[in-house]
Structure 1
Amino acid sequence: MKLLKNCAICFLMLFVSMAYSQQEQNFTVDFETFNLENGLKVILHQDHSDPVVAVALTAHVGSAREKEGRTGFAHLFEHLLFLESENLGKGGLDKLSARIGGSGANGSTSRDRTNYFQTVPNDALEKMIWAEADKLGYFINTVTDPVLAKEKQVVKNEKRQRVDNRPYGHTFYVIDRNLYPDGHPYSWEVIGSLEDLQNATLQDVKDFYNRWYVPNNVILTISGDFDKEQAKEWVHKYFDEIQRGPAIPEMKKQPVSLAKTKKLYYEDNFAKLPELTMAWPSVYSYHPDSYALDILTSYLADGKNAPLYKKIVEEDQLSGRVNMYDYTSELAGQLMLQVRAYEGKDLDSVAMAIEEVFSEFDQNGIPEGDLKRIKAGLETRFYNSISSVLGKGFQLAQYEIFAKDPNYINKEVEKMRAVTADDVLEVFRKYLKNKAFIATSFVPKGQQSLALENSSEAKVVEEKIVEGAEEEVDPNQDVTYEKTPSSFDRSVEPPYHGSPELQVPKVWDDLMPSGMKVLGITNTEVPLVQFSLDIKGGQLLESKKTAGVAHMLAEMLTKGTATKTPAELEEAIEMLGASIDVVAQPEKISIYGNTLSRNYQQTMELVQELLLQPRWDEQEFELLKKQVLSQLQQQAADPNDIAENEFRKLIYGEQSILSYNELGTAETIENLKLQDVKDFYKISISPTVATYLAVGDIRQEEAVKSLRNISANWAPVSVDFPKIPEPQKPETSRVYFYDVPGAKQSVFMFGAPAMSAKSKDFYPAEVMNYRLGGGGFASRLTQELREGKGYTYGIRSRFLDRSYTGPFVISSGVRSNITYEAAELVKQILEDYPSTFSGEDLEVTKSFMVKSNARKFETLGAKLDMLSQISDYGYDYDYIKKQEGLVNNMSLLQIQELAEKYVNPDKMYFLIVGDAETQLDRLSKLGLGDPILLDPETGE
């Protein structure tokens, strides 16, 4: 993915349109399809609920269409298509997105498809169609050797960040190399190898483009608030004359089988805990067995009622969690089971526990109640998935490519509902029982004895850190090329059409007799309600001796009630198709919920039970302690977690509870007693500091009614908020270095204490930061470090919103061998920013800040976030409107003053987590004194 490629999109595509109840059987997603003469498939879906439109271009090409020795091309190409096109010029969609208030041009690559997507205000639809057509038909001439050389570095940095520089990052490399035979298109990773990326030539890239990026291999989806006939006219105008490519034959399904089980181990440089991963050959996407397999994996591993959880987590206490899922792709699939064990646990004991669970399942199968429970959860996932126009567009394209029918969106749910208990048992016996598998044991250095018995050493290619190994590149040098002919002048950007007016959702409020406040927004687009009961306090109320107790309390509230065991509580929630989570944050504890609107009242009855009648289960408490201690060990192995924890200490200092990890420390968790959690509950959980927020298919009267019993039975207490020491900016900037030997990247966190979100400067400072590092690809930090130098995969700056003083922070991961150069460039950008912020920068900033408001409240989650802002910081109900007026009246002088005040590189902490042996000494050249090497034990 261009910025943050994560599994969210994969899961979105997997679960959207899975299940709906008898009450919603008539629910359908309406759409229209048509084909251009050049083969381009167009899918249109209208949704007039918000003044936004999502445009996505999906190419039927992923890593499976590559050749060995040239892996990573599909993903590299995803990156290249954002950089420039003949008529958009350099910066392409990124510059356009900044001006039109878009969500940011982004993309993702899988084994079998690559997509490009963005949500924009509906007045910019013609601009987006013009831009997407330019990308498809008027792009390849702009790719030059310097551009290719730079983007190779960006993609290689992405691989280091996602794979090479984190614990267990090489797991899928080992699994797929051994699960699939040589030459199978899934035997290499989507991101490819560093060597293959480096060896890619300009001709390779052009050949790839001409083969796969042709209209007859691409789908255009447009979903949202637009005029259908007008959209068709624009599609024809901009796409019709793009030439059809050669015919592309359909790839045959290539399922695999294993003759015998293969066990491998790898001593991981970053791992602190042993992890077992098992993979069995499975089925391709939309295979008839895939629905039963989804239910099987959910039943075996998800939640307290899952047999694997009961055996591995509760009974044997080998791990804090179990993860199992069916990973399907176009040509084949694989069943994945993963367990990260506790410190020192032999993975053979984990494998034995798994085998025992499988044996019991073979005898007993899945109970009907659990089958019903799992299907109820899928129903809620379905409605959550279609709450955005982009989600609908994604799914329509997905079905078109892999099911050959976009109307699968209105069919597939019945296939899931038709799964029986016998079907689930049958697929278990067909794909898991006594079947050969691949097993990997990733263990800490020097702990090979924890690996599965009779495991062979896995082969993993490790990159060496070598100074000067990669040459500097200049992608901005002038290059001339002959433009692709067109019947009209495509360099003229289309106009806006209309002007979408921001519709701020109407907020209703109430006050319960207990002192609990109520805020809500009614929205009936989908039959869902999302809510949050926010109780101020959280970490702010902890003492140093009880650090982590707020997190422990939040977790314990989900571990059963006075009348329900933890498993019974979970089952009661899931039978409603609901979810309830309790989360501790620095300044509050929140009970989050998501439920079908028809089950809202029953869901709130369960909220009342877990809030007011905690079970206080001693066994669950001891199990939770083990899980938290394991999490702390895992964080100690991850450079990104290390950076966050060390930066917190620098910002707030040892006298503040805010300098502590929200999970606590190993010492405080070891010493914590269940009575400490009970005591914390008594002094911190009060309706007088609580606000209930609700959005969705619910009226004010219903919300208030659901809270009456809670309010009547919740005794108020006086909550004493201690004074938080005010963090101070450093007098002079210094470099702090935390050594992670062998790190393939250096993680940056640069910043200083700034202000509270309640400050009058907070929003103006966010406006100021847009062009610095808050605007994604429109920002200078990204343009210079990623697009200009290829030093990083991503970099951003932001002001953290808190009711107390929060920091300004710049964060990034850069390749190790340019740590000094990257830090120096960031420092230079900060020094120059106030004096070089131009009138053009201000106009782009204003345009984005105002126009992007059209997208502000599309989803229920966005509406809930709006209520949180109002509740947490005392903002007015129409604060968005007031912010519009503020940004429109900002001047260059204000921007410069804010930059000098809050992003001063002379009074900032420069924290770097990386390989000290190769990088530490050079950092003294920054002119900030000799780097201070932090002690891994104390952080000092």
Structure 2
Amino acid sequence: MKALAAAVILALGLPALAQEAKPLEPGRESLAIPYEKYKLKNGLEVILSVDRKLPIVAVNIWYHVGAYHETPGRTGFAHLFEHMMFQGSKNVADDVHISLLEQLGATDLNGTTSFDRTNYFETVPSNHLETALWLESDRMGFLLDTLTPEKLETQREVVKNERRQGTEAAPYGLAQEKFWQALFPLPHPYHGEVIGSMEDLNAANVADVKDFFRKWYAPSNATLAVVGDFDVAKTKALIEKYFGSLPSGPKPEKPQVAPVKLTGEKVIRHDEKVATLPMLSLGWLSPPYLTEGDATADVLATVLATGKASRLYKRLVLDKQIAQSVEASQQSLGAQSAFTIEVVARPGVSTEALQKEVDAVLEDIRKNGITQEELNRARTRYDTRMLSGLESVGGFSGKADVLQNYNQFVGEPSYLAQDLARYQAVSVEDVKRYANENLRPDGRVVLHAVPAPQAAPASPKENK
């Protein structure tokens, strides 16, 4: 079979670059996701993985561009293109991309943008795979043929309205933006939000947008994953037919940015205009995704605020009843991550009171660490979360997205077993050491988002 596959690749004029998953540790072979990876002559990377549980196929494209790759003064372009790519292309009429797929019975149809990548995906019945590949190739190769100032203006307004709803008019939206900007000050490209600023969105013109597309949306900067019930040889032929002739330049270089260092405590006080309850946020810079310390931070975040037995939830919400909600997370990113804690106060409770209790919990972990039971519970949560997504071939956290994710960050699509092994390797001593070395009071951002005091309602006597 391997010889036959190689023959098919060469017959199609493709380089014989197919790869197989690396051998796994004994007993963990069941976690491997079988795949084949190769490149077209124009640089498009292809990942194929057969899964015959259902007669459906997931088509998933990652463009290796996100907010990290934008330049100052031109933020929000990656997210803007998430919208523009559904607007229409040379052979697809305006605003019918989604409806065409839905008419075929497509599900899990979406596009998303992060700091590190932009992706588009859909799951279709197996007999409609060719149509899905054609639609993706047409907007990859021929979007600019129909790009007009009117189309740009339409999507610009859509994105600006999305920013108004998601940031400017959302509870704590502007406060959280200030918080993130303090963690990643300019010129770091993680500064601000993926959606961009109103000023930069207003400044974008057709020439800017076309230049951005030509640089970052070329086949050489994209990976196509096809996962599900399909014929491998026929699918390779279809991929060559629809994508192989698309022109492409060299793969663009990823920006080289020095990591941010926090050398003191930065305190932000924000007058909250939308929410009615105070919120406290604490943030530290942390290791990049899949690097040493990233899994340890995930474990600590789970111990702190996932479930009713977690440290912060039990102390602030259940025992002292001073908080409405508590969240902690390791926001893993490609260049540098952020470990954050967010607490919403109950009525009448100050953010200073919240901070005192949060710091007490953190200090206890620095001194005494966590228990083995807490560590085991965190490991189980991550195993369950990661493996449950693999029941689907497409969609968020489906098999196609998992293969793409690992391929982008480590170059190995079938990295699931190695990823889960990171959590098994974390010890209680590692968590204690991480808390002491990384969650220091003198290297963090503290946000106090406090609404203005509400006037007391007038008494009936005063109303007369």
Post-superposition shift, 1:181? 2.4
- 2:417 maps to 1:410: yes
Matched, 1:394 2:401: yes
**Partner of 1:441 in structure 2?**
448
CA contact (8 A) 2:32 2:414 kept: no
- Tell me the residue number matched to 2:370: 366
Deviations 1:471-499 (A, max 9, x none): xxxxxxxxxxxxxxxxxxxxxxxxxxxxx
- Could you list the per-position Cα deviations for residues 63-98 of structure 1 after superposition, in whole angstroms to 9, with x for gaps in the alignment? 111122211111001100111011122224223113
Equivalent residue number for residue 296 of structure 2: 292
**Does 2:110 match 1:106?**
yes
With over 3 angstroms needed to count, the CA separation of the structure-2 counterparts of 1:326 and 1:236, relative to structure 1, is: same
Query: What is the aligned residue count?
Result: 428
1:65 aligns to what?
69
Which residue does the alignment assign to 1:185?
189
Matching residue of 2:315: 311
1:253 deviates by 5.7
Map of 2:339 onto structure 1: 335
| 3-state SS, counterpart of residue 198 of structure 1 | helix
Correspondences of 1:446-845 after superposition (within 5 Å): 446=453
Cross-structure match for 1:142: 146
The answer to whether the Cα contact below 8 Å between 1:98 and 1:104 also exists between their aligned partners in 2 is no
- Measure the CA separation in 2 of the matches of 1:253 and 1:193: 21
Question: Contact 1:112–1:330 (CA<8 Å) still a contact in 2?
Answer: yes
Residues 255 and 283, structure 1, Cα contact 8 Å, conserved in 2:
no
Aligned to 2:43: 39
What is the aligned counterpart of 1:118 among 113, 118, 122? 122
Q: Please, what is the CA RMSD of the aligned residues?
A: 1.9
CA distance in 2, matches of 1:64, 1:379: 29
Out of 257, 260, 282, the residue aligned to residue 256 of structure 1 is 260
What is the CA-CA distance between 1:289 and the residue it aligns to? 0.8
Match for residue 457 of structure 2? none
Q: Which is greater in Rg?
A: 1
Contact 1:280 1:435 in 2 (8 A): no
Give the residue type in structure 1 aligned to 2:44. L
User: Could you tell me which residue of structure 1 aligns to residue 10 of structure 2?
Assistant: none
Mapped partners of 1:256, 1:194: distance in 2: 25
Quick one: which of 278, 286, 289 aligns to 1:282?
286
Residues 242-282 of structure 1: CA deviation (Å, up to 9, x unaligned): 11223322333643211211111222221110001111111
The amino acid of 1:71's aligned partner reads T
Q: Where does structure 1 lack aligned partners over 5 or more consecutive residues? A: 1-21, 448-940
1:27 maps to which of 24, 28, 31: 31
Q: CA deviation at 1:104?
A: 6.2
- Output the CA distance in 2 between the equivalents of 1:254 and 1:110: 20
What whole-Å deviation, never above 9, does each CA across 1:596-644 have from its counterpart, x for those lacking one?
xxxxxxxxxxxxxxxxxxxxxxxxxxxxxxxxxxxxxxxxxxxxxxxxx
Q: Deviations over 1:688-739 (max 9, x none)?
A: xxxxxxxxxxxxxxxxxxxxxxxxxxxxxxxxxxxxxxxxxxxxxxxxxxxx
**Aligned-partner Cα distance in 2 for 1:150–1:320:** 40
Deviation at 1:25, TM superposition (A): 5.6
Match for residue 229 of structure 2? 225
What are the Cα deviations for residues 780-828 of structure 1, in whole angstroms up to 9, with x where unaligned? xxxxxxxxxxxxxxxxxxxxxxxxxxxxxxxxxxxxxxxxxxxxxxxxx
The secondary structure found in structure 1 opposite 2:284 is: strand
* Equivalent AA in structure 2 for residue 213 of structure 1: Y
Counterpart contact for 1:253–1:332, Cα < 8 Å: no
1:302-335: per-residue Cα shift (whole Å, max 9, x none)?
2232222222123322103210000111111111
Q: Is the 8 A contact 1:156 1:194 kept in 2?
A: yes
1:197 counterpart = 2:201: yes
Superposed displacement of residue 150, structure 1: 0.9
1-structure distance, mates of 2:425, 2:120: 34
Separation in 2, partners of 1:229, 1:333: 41
Name the SS for the 1:321 alignment partner.
strand
Q: What is the aligned partner in structure 2 of residue 242 from structure 1?
A: 246
- The one-letter code of the counterpart of 2:264 is K
Using a 3 Å threshold, how does the CA distance of structure 1 residues 316 and 104 change in structure 2: closer, same or farther? closer
Matched residues in 1 for 2:46 and 2:362: separation? Answer: 46
The alpha-carbon deviation at position 171 of structure 1 amounts to 3.0
Q: Does 1:271 align with 2:280?
A: no
Please give the per-residue CA displacement for 1:194-234, whole angstroms capped at 9, x wherever unaligned.
Answer: 22112110001100001101111101011111111111110
Seen in structure 2, the aligned counterparts of structure 1 residues 25 and 419 have a Cα distance that, compared at 3 Å, is farther
Mean Cα displacement is larger for which, 201-210 or 81-90?
A: 81-90
Q: Which amino acid aligns with 1:421?
A: V
Q: TM-score with structure 1 length normalisation?
A: 0.44
Question: Matched residue of 2:430: which SS?
Answer: helix
Pair 1:432-2:439 in alignment: yes
Greater relative contact order (Cα < 8 A, sep 6+): 2
- Give 3-state SS (helix, strand or coil) of 1:247's partner: coil
Within 1, Cα distance between the matches of 2:291 and 2:257?
A: 11
The answer to whether the 8 A contact 2:69-2:254 is kept is no
Q: Distance in 2 between matches of 1:271 and 1:296?
A: 28
Residue 214 of structure 1 is matched in structure 2 by 218
Give the Cα–Cα distance (whole angstroms) in 1 for the partners of residues 295 and 97 of structure 2.
Answer: 38
Q: Secondary structure at the match of 1:263?
A: strand
Q: Choose which of 66, 78, 96 in structure 1 pairs with 2:82.
A: 78
Corresponding residue of 1:95:
99
Cα contact 2:175–2:272 (8 A) shared by 1: no
Distance across 1 between alignment mates of 2:63 and 2:176: 24
Does 2:179 align with 1:175? Answer: yes
Q: Which amino acid aligns with 1:228?
A: V
Query: What residue in structure 2 maps to residue 819 of structure 1?
Result: none
Residue identity in the other structure for 1:412: D
SS in 2 for 1:57: strand
The answer as to whether partners of 2:286 and 2:336 remain within 8 angstroms in 1 is: yes
Instruction: Tell me, in whole angstroms, the C-alpha distance in 1 between the residues paired with 2:254 and 2:166.
Output: 31
Separation in 1, partners of 2:228, 2:333: 28
- Tell me which moved more, 26-35 or 321-330: 26-35
Q: Please state how far the C-alpha of 1:23 moved relative to its aligned partner.
A: 7.6
**Is the contact made by 1:63 and 1:190 (CA closer than 8 Å) also made in structure 2?**
yes
SS at match of 1:320: strand
Query: Is the 8 Å Cα contact of residues 32 and 43 (structure 1) preserved in structure 2?
Result: yes
Distance in 2 (CA, whole Å) between partners of 1:434 and 1:172 is: 20
Aligned AA for 1:27?
Answer: L
Distance 1:442 1:375, change over 3 A: same
- For residues 206 and 340 of structure 1, what CA distance do their matches in structure 2 show? 43
Equivalent-residue separation in structure 2 for 1:351 and 1:40 (angstroms) = 50
Q: Is the 8 A contact 2:42 2:219 kept in 1?
A: yes
State how far apart, in whole Å, the 1-side matches of 2:314 and 2:99 are: 52
Matching residue of 2:54: 50
Residues 841-886 of structure 1: per-residue CA shift (max 9 Å, x gap): xxxxxxxxxxxxxxxxxxxxxxxxxxxxxxxxxxxxxxxxxxxxxx
- Whether the 8 Å CA contact 1:54–1:222 is kept in 2: the answer is yes
